[in-house]
Structure formats: structure tokens, C-alpha cells
Amino acid sequence: MLGEAEPQWLSEEVKTGTTIIAIEFNGGVVLGSDSRVSAGESVVNRVMNKLSPLHDKIYCALSGSAADAQTIAEMVNYQLDVHSMEIGEDPQVRSAATLVKNISYKYKEELSAHLIVAGWDRREGGQVFATLKGLLTRQPFAVGGSGSSYVYGFVDAEYRKGMNKKECQQFVVNTLSLAMKRDGSSGGVAYLVTIDEHGTEEKVILGNDLPTFFDQ
Amino acid sequence: MEKHYTDSKVKGVSTGTTILAAIFDGGVVIGSDSRASIGGEYVSSKTINKVIQVHDRIFCCMAGSLADAQAVIKSAKSHLSFHSVQMESPPLVIAAASVLKELCYKNKDELQAGFLTAGWDSKKGPQVYVVSLGGMLISQQVTIGGSGSTYIYGYVDAKYKPNMTREECLQFATNALALAMGRDNVSGGVAHLVVITEKGVELKLVCSLIELLLIFHEELNE
């Protein structure tokens, strides 16, 4: 509607316009993300892994401004290392989420990144935390990024409590696939991370292996 | 608190609404929510019907500026009834859609209105057409529009199947509207649905969306 004179990528910052999702199951969590990084209309990286480890069994999913999100993840990674050495054991997921929340809240005017923190610890098992704009809330599942708008209806309808690990992984892959099809800023491949008490498993699902739905 | 602009900044002026049309085996379902709001802050009507009949078996849903849409539909209705008298037969669905498209395209600088047109005719059976803001006309099997549609793209892509039965399609449309209303604050109220088949037209009003929302948002049940 309002015409812009210059091409967008000259003035647009690099964003992980993205789709991210994390879901809790009995015994762990599954995180998923797409792999597209865009600067306006241009795709500057089509294979970026937006699932970043904060600790052995705690990961975060990045969305929003790529630089802001990566910086927050690195800072929290460092802070968590120090913290886990101080307490002498693996940190709780809630601690990691609180550290992310503290940075998001303190610098909320300067930063524009949303991280979803998810992981497994001995006390509470699998947990997913959303930290949008400095809010800290534990949820059974969380979606974020520009692509998430298109799949709110789908996740509302399809999420059921008490899904097992395989069902959660399929749910995440389906959601990512639907969002990537509709959101111009999401695409590429799907990255999946499954965390439970036995360990962390990372998986990549290439574009042509993603599930397809009704195509008009 | 910053003022958050929803789709109105991205898509231009958009009626806070959710509209949908889908073809099933033997007919078509077209439906909308029933909320009219001013600036996203005040609900001026809880039960407005956004599904307008333009001919016996042809219905339209409006998107964009309500004022523009109403003006266009009024003009289209009179064009269509004249056309139908001249042809001595009921108008084709594509004729209705084309009339809307001509008006939208010729006046694209002044107007901000888009339409979903759904209906049944004897030549091609059930059809759904989309006339977009600039005046593009395309035929689709299922289509959604309005600000609330953003949230159900994933659901519609996943759940729509061609050649559903009438009941399945009605349930699909009701679910989709309920989910959109659950997430979009400018869509809400009841669901107005119209089922159009060779035999005739049936109007349905679905009020029990609260129950559906309770099922979808399980955490409310705890």
C-alpha cells in the first residue's frame, strides 16, 4: 500500500523470520525450527539451525532479530556454565529460562528477539518456557516466530495432553511443515531436537521429506 | 504499553473478521463470524451477518472495508439480476464473481474490498471464487479471508480434504471459525454458515462455539 522506494534488503535488518515450536511430553521435550534467515525479501541463510544449546539438556529456540537472539543465547550459555559450576550439578530448566527472561526484560526496548527455552532436568522432567518480552511462563507447548501465526489454529486443535515422544515429534514436524508452506519468512529444512533423561538427539528433516497436506 | 498493530498495518484496512468457503461433495459451505468492532476496542455488533445473498444459489462474504464492500455488493446484485433476466436463466457463479471483480479492478484506487463468492450452478456445480483487493479472480476449492484467517491457514491446509461429505465439511468449517475466533480478538460471536447445493440453500447458525473452544483449549478444563 505505502510504496517503498529502495529494495528492502538494504534497509532491513537480518531477522530469523521463523517458525519455532517446543512441546513437552512425559519424560522430556521436543524442540523444532525451520532454517531460513531473511533480510527483507532476500534469504541470506537457508540452513541455519535455530535450536541453540544452553546446556547439555537445555536448548533454546531463536526467533526475531538474528543478532539479538544469538547474543542472548551465548550470554545465557556462559551464565549457565558458571551457575552449574557453582551449584555443582546440572542446572534446572527454570534457571536457564529465568536467565533468558532477565536479559529480555532488562533490555526489552533495545532487543527484539523471542527465545523459547526447553529442556529436561531431574526435578521437574521435561519443561517448556516462553520468554516473550520478558514474561516467564511455563506452558505445555509454545510456538513462536512469524510463521507461528498461521498455525495457531492447527496447534490449538491438534494438541492433546499425554502424547508420547513419537507423537510429539510428528506433531512438531507437521506444524513446522504447515507454517513453512504459508510463511514467506520460514522455509528450508526442519531441525528437531529431542531431550529426555537419556540424552539429547538432534535430527534434520530435509525439505522434500517433510509431510505434505492438501495442495490446491 | 505500545499499541500493537495487527493485520491492518500489513494488509491495509481489514475488517476484523474471519470468512471461509469450502467445496464438498455435491455443494459448498460458506461462513463467517459475527463480530463488528471499532478499532479493535469496542464490539459494535455481536451478531452481524457477513454472508450476503446475491442470487438464489450464490452467496458472498466481504473482506476489507465494510462500507466499500456493501456498496460493491449492492451494485453487483442489480447487475446480476438484470443479467439473469437477459439470459433467462440463473446466473453462473463465475458471472457473479466476475461482476465483483470488474467493479474491484476498475475502481482499485478508490476501493478496499475483497470477496469470497460461493455457489452452485448447473454448468459447473459447486464453486468458490476469490476476488482479492486489487481485482484478481481465482477459483479455489477452499479459501479463507479476513484478519482471523491468519491463524487457521495451518489448520485448513492440514484438515481440508476434497470430496468430504456435507457433515464433515460443516464440522470442518465450524472448527476453523471457532479456532480463528479463539485467537483473533476482532473475530467472534457466532458462526453464520450457509450450505448451498443443487437442491437449495440452508442457513445455519452455530452458537455452541464455546463448547468447541473448551475442547480445543484443554487447559480450561482443568
Nearest to A154 among B140, B150, B154 (CB): B154
CATH second-level architecture of B18-220?
A: 4-Layer Sandwich (3.60)
- The CA R_g of chain A, rounded to the nearest whole Å, is 17
CA dist., res. A57 & res. A117, Å (int) = 11
Q: Compute how many other C-beta atoms are within 10 angstroms of the C-beta atom of residue A140.
A: 17
Report the share of chain B in percent with pLDDT over 70.
91
The ipTM value here is: 0.79
| Of the candidates A192, A190, A182, the residue with the CA atom closest to the CA atom of residue B154 | A182
Which pLDDT belongs to residue B12? Answer: 38
CA dist., res. A53 & res. A56, Å (int) = 7
Evaluate if residue A9 carries a pLDDT over 70: no
| B30 and B115 Cβ atoms separated by less than 8 Å | no
Nearest to B154 among A140, A159, A182 (CB): A182
Least confident of A15-19, A155-159, A203-207, B37-41: B37-41
Residues of chain A with Cβ-Cβ distance to B152 below 8 Å are: 152-154
pTM over 0.90: no
CA dist., res. B213 & res. B177, Å (int) = 10
Residues of chain B with Cβ-Cβ distance to A141 below 8 Å are: none
- Among left, alpha and beta (phi > 0; psi -120 to 50; other), residue A43 is beta
Which pLDDT belongs to residue B1? Answer: 36
pLDDT band, residue A140 (cuts 50/70/90): very high
User: Which domains are present in chain A?
Assistant: 20-209 (3.60.20.10)
Residues of chain A with Cβ-Cβ distance to B1 below 8 Å are: none
Q: DSSP readout, B146-210?
A: SGGGGGGHHHHHHH--TT--HHHHHHHHHHHHHHHHHH-TT--S-EEEEEEESS-EEEEEE-THH
A153–B156 C-beta distance less than 8 A: yes
Higher per-residue pLDDT: B68 or B2: B68
Nearest residue in chain B measured CA to CA from A152: B151
Q: Calculate how close chain A gets to B39, using CA atoms only, in Å.
A: 19
Q: Which of B18, B144, B153 to mutate to test the interface with A (most CBs of A within 10 A)?
A: B153
CA dist., res. A35 & res. A209, Å (int) = 15
Collapse the DSSP code of B125 into the 3-class scheme (helix H, G, I; strand E, B; otherwise coil) and give the result: strand
Which pLDDT belongs to residue B49? Answer: 82
Q: Is A146 on the interface with B (CB under 8 A)?
A: no
A175–B217 C-beta distance less than 8 A: no
The partner residues of B142 in beta bridges, in order of sequence, read B22
Residues of chain B with Cβ-Cβ distance to A181 below 8 Å are: 157
